[in-house]
């Protein structure tokens, strides 16, 4: 999201608006006007132009490179390109070949190469993750469970390896955002295991995992690390609603409107997202907590 990336760039030491503008001008002489840049900074709903996206993506990539070894991270890019390929007949075989290649590399890595191993396990987790929905659509329950458990194991291994790395390299820790992404992927493993024709976010196994895994606490940790992460706050609100937890609904709604006051309006649509008001997953929260009276009270707090 361009909004998040602009905020992440802006929060770096020394990145006042003038420095930000200078960095942009060094990338593209046409640049982005300060007024427009600040508009994107203030507006989660604003759709970026291709020109703006290219500049911000480049700067973000320069300032926040992948924490994983380049030669192994390249395999992640290969897999992303494979997923977008139109070679449908060979896509699964290509994914199998890439997975086998990653499995062959793993034993050759040094014991202390936690980042290299984490990268490969993340790749293997993604490959199995993408198989879950395909198996679910065929109602192939056995293979759904096999791929789900394999993906969960890989993602948990990623988290364990990143924890080890951060503990032994406090000067070069992997960001909370990367850790949150792996945690969210584990939740999504459960959701993707439900066929489209039987889909429900109220799936008991999914909600049990959300509750037992401490996912909401992970959301809070990610927001504490990056207080502009409105999408994570909305995810926290979503699952708080599905869990029918009033206190958590209030907590994540407070975090959400602290990130941007426009979210107090439940019909507000951030870029490329539906409004909370029209999404089924939030309806319990709207009916039981985010009532008109409660929202009016929150608006008064924001104006105070």
- Looking at residue 274, its pLDDT comes to 96
| Per-position b or e across 233-252, b if 16+ CB within 10 A of its CB | bbbbbbbbbbbebeebbbbb
Q: What average pLDDT is seen over the chain?
A: 94
Q: What Å distances lie between residue 105 and 68, 108, 220, CA to CA?
A: 15, 5, 35
pLDDT at 7: 97
Q: Which of 75, 102, 82, 78 is nearest to 157 (CA)?
A: 102
CB 252 within 8 A of CB 233: yes
Q: Decide: 5 and 56 in contact? Cβ < 8 Å.
A: yes
| pLDDT of the residue at 221 | 95
Residues of the chain by 3-state class (helix, strand, coil), percent to 5: 75, 0, 25
pTM of the model: 0.92
Residue 280: count of CB within 10 angstroms of its CB: 12
Q: For residues 28 and 79, is the Cβ–Cβ distance under 8 A?
A: no
CB distance 152 to 189 below 8 Å: yes
**Strand, coil or helix: 169:** coil
Question: Which tens digits make up the pLDDT trace of 12-33?
Answer: 999 999 999 999 999 998 889 9
In the chain the beta strands, taken as DSSP E runs, fall at none
What is the DSSP code string of 106-139? GGGS-TT-HHHHHHHHHHHHHHHHHHHHHHHHTT
Tens-digit pLDDT string for the chain (304 aa): 899 999 999 999 999 999 999 999 999 988 899 999 999 999 999 999 999 999 999 999 999 999 999 999 999 999 999 988 877 678 889 999 999 999 999 999 999 999 999 999 999 999 999 999 999 988 899 999 999 999 999 999 999 999 999 999 999 999 999 999 999 999 999 999 987 776 677 788 899 999 999 999 999 999 999 999 999 999 999 999 999 999 999 999 999 999 999 999 999 999 999 999 999 999 999 999 999 999 999 999 998 7
Q: Is the dihedral of CA 274, 279, 283, 285 positive or negative?
A: negative
């Amino acid at each position: 999201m361009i909004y998040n990336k602009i905020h992440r760039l802006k929060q770096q030491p020394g990145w006042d608006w003038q420095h930000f503008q200078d960095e942009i001008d060094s990338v593209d002489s046409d640049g982005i006007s300060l007024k427009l840049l600040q508009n994107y900074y203030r507006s989660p709903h604003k759709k970026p132009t291709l020109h703006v996206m290219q500049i911000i993506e480049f700067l973000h990539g320069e300032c926040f490179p992948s924490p994983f070894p380049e030669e192994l991270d390249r395999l992640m890019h290969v897999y992303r390109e494979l997923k977008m390929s139109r070679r449908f007949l060979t896509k699964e075989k290509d994914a199998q070949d890439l997975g086998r290649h990653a499995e062959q590399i793993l034993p050759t890595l040094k014991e202390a190469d936690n980042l290299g191993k984490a990268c490969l396990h993340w790749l293997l987790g993604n490959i199995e993750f993408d198989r879950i929905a395909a198996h679910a659509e065929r109602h192939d329950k056995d293979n759904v469970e096999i791929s789900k458990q394999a993906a969960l194991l890989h993602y948990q291994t990623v988290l364990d390896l990143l924890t080890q790395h951060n503990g032994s390299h406090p000067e070069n820790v992997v960001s909370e955002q990367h850790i949150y992404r792996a945690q969210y992927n584990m939740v999504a493993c459960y959701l993707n295991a439900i066929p489209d024709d039987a889909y429900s976010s109220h799936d008991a196994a999914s909600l049990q995992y959300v509750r037992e895994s401490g996912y909401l606490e992970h959301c809070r940790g990610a927001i504490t690390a990056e207080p502009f992460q409105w999408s994570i706050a909305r995810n926290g609100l979503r699952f708080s609603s599905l869990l029918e937890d009033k206190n958590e609904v209030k907590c994540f709604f407070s975090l959400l409107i602290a990130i941007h006051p426009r979210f107090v309006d439940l019909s507000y649509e951030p870029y490329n997202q539906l409004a909370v008001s029209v999404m089924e997953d939030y309806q319990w929260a709207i009916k039981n907590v985010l009532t008109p009276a409660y929202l009016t009270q929150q608006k008064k707090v924001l104006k105070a």
